[in-house]
Amino acid sequence: MFRHSVLLRLARPARAAPFLAHAPRRTVFSRRAERTGRAVENLNLQRLSQQSEEYHRNRRIFLWCGTIAGVVSFIYTAYKLKVELSKPAKFDANLTPSDPLSGASAADREVVVFDEEGSEIVPTGNSTVPTFPRRINLPSYTAPLSTASTSSEALTSPGVTSRSGTTEYTLVGLGLRTVTFINLQVYVVGFYVATADIAALQNALTKKVNPIATTLVPDEREQLRNALIDPVEGEKTWDELLAAGIPARSAFRVVPVRDTDFHHLRDGFVRAIQARAAGLSGKPGQPGAAEDEAFGKAMRQFRAVFNRGSVPKRREMLLVRDETGRLSITYDAGASKKEGRPAGRQLIGVVEDERVSRALWLNYLAGKKVASEPARKSILEGVMEFVERPVGTVATQVVPVVNAKV
């Protein structure tokens, strides 16, 4: 009934249809579990947030490190430039061997500087008080030797003194006075010696080392330097010189670098005098240790001089010691039309007892602890320049300046 070919086709199994993957249809009502095959469904938002926060934190740290490194390098470069610019300039020059500027010590010589009026000045290294005059002319104050002049009122009043000519003083050395452990700057102080009395100082220092010499050779100069540097020997040497009236006339010029007052200056001076008074050597007819009634009276007179008000910065105070050891104190408060005060130096007090000025001088010149170490070193260098020259000649170079940190 059926053909053989038809029967064969019916008996053969049907060919399987190709496999088609079923792709589920997505609708708004489809559940999240049915869509787990998408890549976006595997993102971790918390981990991405942490990675972003860490990236920005590292970026901020890197930028801050760069900023700090830049500031530090800028400050260091500026400091190195300041150090290099502060060094004396060295120039090549075709100078003959006999020229004084071609020697080995030519680089250590100071440059002479003049102000607008043509006066020679010396740099101090301080920005508030930048210079000190190389030479100053001071009047000679002569107090009457009457019994009235020994009273406190007489000695502290300018009316009891008279001026008799002027004397030229030459700067020997200067330095900055600092206090406390943070080196708080107080004033710049300079030591002046009457130009006519430098020869006597030269002769006394020279004879101390070599009694028959008029100038010192290098070994002798080193011996004198060591003696003046030594706290005990240096103080003894200056004490003996001052007690003998060498130098006969000298002065300390004090210029504050910050606003202060007379009471503050007085307290510092009084402490210095009291610390040195016990070790003073005696003069003929006078006790050595300053413990007698006359010295106590002189100290009361000294304190009375400073019963005043404020001392603005850059105002000059002079402590002048004459050939008898008398201490004269002058102050330049500047002109004031309101108070009727004239311009220039005004004498504010005189103290007769020479032990007061001697103890005050030793506070700057020698000892284990001095008021200003830079000033002491500068004064020492100035004195050594004197003994390098024959007795009777005056050094013409500007004194070396030992600068304090400003």
For the segment 17-30, what is each residue's pLDDT rounded down to a tens digit?
554 445 556 565 55
What is the mean pLDDT of the segment spanning 360-379?
Answer: 92
- Whether the pLDDT of residue 120 is over 60: the answer is yes
Q: Which two tokens stand for residue 342?
A: 């004239």
Domain coordinates of the chain in residue numbers? 114-387
Sheet containing strand 135-142, edge to edge, reads 135-142, 162-179, 184-194, 250-256, 317-321, 327-331, 346-351
Q: Which amino acid is at 368?
A: K
Q: What is the pLDDT of residues 370-381, one digit of tens each?
A: 999 999 999 999
Residue 401's pLDDT band, with cuts at 50, 70 and 90, is very low
- The answer, yes or no, to whether residue 102 has pLDDT greater than 70, is no
> Does 187 have pLDDT greater than 90?
yes
Pair of tokens at residue 297: 């009276």
Q: Where are the alpha helices (DSSP H) in 36-166?
A: 45-86, 152-155
Which one is predicted more confidently, 31 or 248? 248
User: Per mean pLDDT, which range of 119-128, 262-271, 314-323 is the poorest?
Assistant: 119-128
pLDDT band at 291 (very low <50, low <70, confident <90, very high): low
Work out the burial of residue 193: count CB atoms within 10 Å of its CB; fewer than 13 is exposed, 13-18 middle, 19 or more buried. buried
**Cα gap 205→202, rounded to integer Å:** 5
Which amino acid does the sequence have at 154?
A: A
Q: Return mean pLDDT, the chain.
A: 78
Helix (H, G, I), strand (E, B) or coil at 224: helix
Q: What torsion do the CA atoms of 85, 90, 92, 98 make, to the nearest 10 degrees?
A: 160
Distance, CA of 65 to CA of 406 (rounded, Å)? 31
**pLDDT 10s digits, 388-397:** 877 766 544 4
**Residue 24: its pLDDT value, please?**
56
The domain defined by 114-387 carries CATH number 3.40.190.10: no
Query: Percent of the chain having pLDDT more than 90?
Result: 42
Instruction: Between 333 and 325, name the one with better pLDDT.
Output: 325
Lowest mean pLDDT among 3-12, 141-150, 265-274: 141-150
Which residue is listed with tokens 């202060």?
260
Instruction: Name the DSSP letter for residue 13.
Output: P
Cis peptide before 247, with omega less than 30 degrees from 0? Answer: yes
User: If you average pLDDT over residues 160-188, what whole number do you get?
Assistant: 82
Given a contact cutoff of 8 angstroms between Cβ atoms, the answer to whether 254 and 316 are in contact is: yes
| Joined tokens for residue 10 | 């019916």
What's the Cα-to-Cα distance from 334 to each of 104, 126, 212, 324, 403, rounded to whole Å?
Answer: 45, 22, 49, 30, 28
pLDDT tens per residue, range 190-244: 999 999 999 999 889 988 888 887 778 888 889 999 999 999 999 999 999 999 9
Angstrom CA distances, 388 to 106, 326, 384, stand at 16, 30, 6
| Rounded Cα gap, residues 328 and 348, in angstroms | 8
Amino acid at 302: F
Cβ-based burial of 279 (10 A; exposed 0-12, middle 13-18, buried ≥19): middle
State if pTM tops 0.75.
Answer: no
Return the pLDDT at 47. Answer: 87
pLDDT at residue 37 in the model = 53
139 band by pLDDT with thresholds 50, 70 and 90: confident
Tokens of 380: 């020492």
